[in-house]
Chains A and B, each alone.
Chain A
Amino acid sequence: MRREGLIAGGLAGLHLLVLLAGFAAPYDPVEQTRTLPFAPPSRLHLIDADGAFHLRPFVYALAPDPDNFDSYIEDTAQRFPVQMMVAGSTYSLLPGVESRLHLFGVDAPARISLLGTDGFGRDVLSRLLHGGRISIGAGLLATLFALLVGIGFGTIAGFFGGRVDTAVMRLADLFMAVPWLYLLFAVRAALPLHLDTRATFLLLVAVLGIVGWARPARLIRGIVLSTRERTYVTAARGLGAQAPYLLRRHILPQTLGVVLTQAGLLVPQYILAEVTLSFLGLGVGEPTPSWGAMLGSLQQYSVLTSYWWMFTPAIALVVVALSYSALTSMVHERMRLAAS
């Protein structure tokens, strides 16, 4: 229980952080600082150049090293203490609610980039948090979409049986007969290449949902099929219950376990699928950050070998995926134990 709570709490915290990306991130994710490309993560100091100790951590402003290409030196003349709750760039916290408050920051001209900057001098941490909104958001929405379609078709097939059942299940077989990456590619090929971010995002969600509805539909159909014949359902039917009532009251609640486990399996898969498509340049594109698009810059060997902080989206991805799958298997185990 404690481990499950820990993982669930950690995941919830991560989602909250990503949801409040504008507040948690110190900078605007698309704001460029052309003088600081690929700057390494800012170093937090407690002891200044004169050896004096300061309780509040501070950073120094960075300047390109005139003697060495692609490296920076800290200007130790002036300290820039890290401040909490500072005013910075404007972002919209919720639709319609704008704010300038950021969790932390430093005074200009210094910049604090805890995870370094990318090739355009954009803050990687800010992009990571905002990109998580797209990547995790796409994963969650696509899962919702796939499960809704899967529940719909699965219930229809299982409850009505006969020819409807055969037709729906053959369709599901069809979608499972194509390797998912090819299916994803084929559906993606059907869409125009250049779209604005919102449209791309929604299309991505739809594409992922279309690709993944078949497995949940099949599992839910199985449960509906067996539940339909249970004595309490036939009893209710004998007492005059109609189909909508039977489904709502007696049959669909039985599918909850499968729906939850499928959701736990689908979310990380879909986040990964979004990352894959964006990595290949088929998903959300520049300048909007998404984890896949950020990782796309690693296709250049020079970036891959020189700037380790460009890997951080991959680390975030693994943490999220591992937490989801660990939580799912724990919940699944628990439900299995409870059932037996």
Chain B
Amino acid sequence: MTVIVRRIASSLVMLFAVSALSFAVLELAPGDFFAEMQADARVGSQTVQGLRAQYGLTQSPVVRYWQWLRSFVQGDLGFSLAQRAPVSSVIWARAGNTLLLTIPAMLVTWCLAVPLGVWIARYRNRWIDRVSSGLTSTLVAMPDLLVALLLLLLALRTGLFPTGGMHSPGADELGLWARLLDLGTHAFLPLLALIATTLPSVVRHVRASVIEAAEAPAVQAARGYGIARSRITSRYVLPLAANPLVSLAGLSIATLLSASLLIEVVMSWPGLGPLLVEALLAKDVHVVLSASMLASGLLVIGNLAADLTLYAIDPRIRV
């Protein structure tokens, strides 16, 4: 019990440190949102100073960090100067769109990776294993950017799937099922890209941990007793192999908000990725800050979830 409490406490401290780091980095930035305005001769420095004061930018960084932190804890993410709207109204919708891609992609990836990894591990050092390991290592080295571009090219050439955006024009007037179908066809391409970029490394990890587990004495003994292979796999090998895989699954949760950023930009999916790039170019501090806080929060939560799951399922850790 104390382990769990301590683990949660250290996660919270970590989140606090992340927020301080992000704020400090953005604070060190020369210029702010209004700096670009001063280039315009029609805008006097009085006006800019007035705007800065109005938005509270003239206060000391420590005061502003404290204010930001206090409102962040209360769920208020600040104000987006570029969008002229509260950050929360912008960011939650975008984060939702990102999750709409990443959660199905993660589920599909794991549902495919575990059987595939187990299957490949069975043919260790045979040609199936060789071919698949060559294939996966090539795909791992393949940049997300290229995979996304190639899939986009394929879609544009064949015209099989719509490219860009989430809906067809006029989709609001369709019925519920037609609208879902429309969303599905739009999501197909980015989903495919996301799965193609995450699947290979997960398959490799599953294969490696299954092979390692298969060499354990308990599994060897079970084989010696003549227990059926399917039963050995499900009852002996998988529980043993689960330990490193749970950590990896925690990491997949952790990257739910960051894995698809680039793919979203390339495929014009209205998720966090395009929003972040726009916010960066406009020096929209609060949007960048909130997005990176959300993503790091998820990372911390993912790791925490993995640790707690391990604690629950692996008696060795509890000792």
User: Which residues from chain A sit less than 8 Å from chain B, CB to CB?
Assistant: 170, 173-174, 177-179, 181-183, 185-193, 268, 272, 275-276, 279-282, 295, 298-299, 301, 304-305, 311, 314, 317-318, 321-322, 325-326, 329
Contact = CB atoms under 8 A, between A and B. Distances in A.
A178 B295 contact: yes
Nearest to B268: A299
Contacts of B258: 179, 181-182
Contacts of A192: 29-31
Contact of B292 (A183, A193, A299): A183
Given A174-B14, A177-B300, A282-B280, A186 B152 contact: no
B116 interface: no
Interface of B: 14, 17-18, 21-22, 25-26, 28-31, 137-138, 140-143, 145-146, 149, 152-153, 156-157, 163, 254-255, 257-258, 261-262, 265-266, 276-277, 280-281, 283, 285, 288-289, 291-292, 295-296, 299-300
Contact of A177 (B163, B276, B296): B296
Nearest to B138: A322
B149 A318 contact: no
A52 B157 CA distance: 39
Given A178-B21, A182-B258, 6 more contacts: A178-B299, A191-B30, A281-B277, A304-B156, A314-B149, A318-B142
Given A190-B25, A314-B143, A318-B141, A182 B292 contact: yes
Contacts of B257: 179
B153 A317 contact: no
Given A181-B262, A187-B25, A301 B280 contact: no
A185 B14 CA distance: 20
B21 A325 contact: no
Contact of A186 (B137, B281, B292): B292
Nearest to B29: A190
Contact of B265 (A170, A173, A280, A295): A280
B149 A186 contact: no
Nearest to A302: B156
Contact of B141 (A190, A301, A321): A321
Contact of B29 (A170, A191, A281, A325): A191
B143 A318 contact: yes
A160 B153 CA distance: 55
A317 B257 CA distance: 26
Nearest to A313: B146
B2 to A, nearest CB: 20
Contacts of B30: 191-192
A314 B140 CA distance: 15
Of residues B28, B141, B276, B288, which shows the largest number of chain A Cβ atoms within 10 Å of its Cβ?
B141
Of residues A174, A185, A187, A268, which shows the largest number of chain B Cβ atoms within 10 Å of its Cβ?
A185
A191 B145 CA distance: 24
Contacts of A322: 138, 141
A72 B31 CA distance: 48
Contacts of A301: 156, 163
Given A301-B163, A314-B145, A276 B262 contact: yes
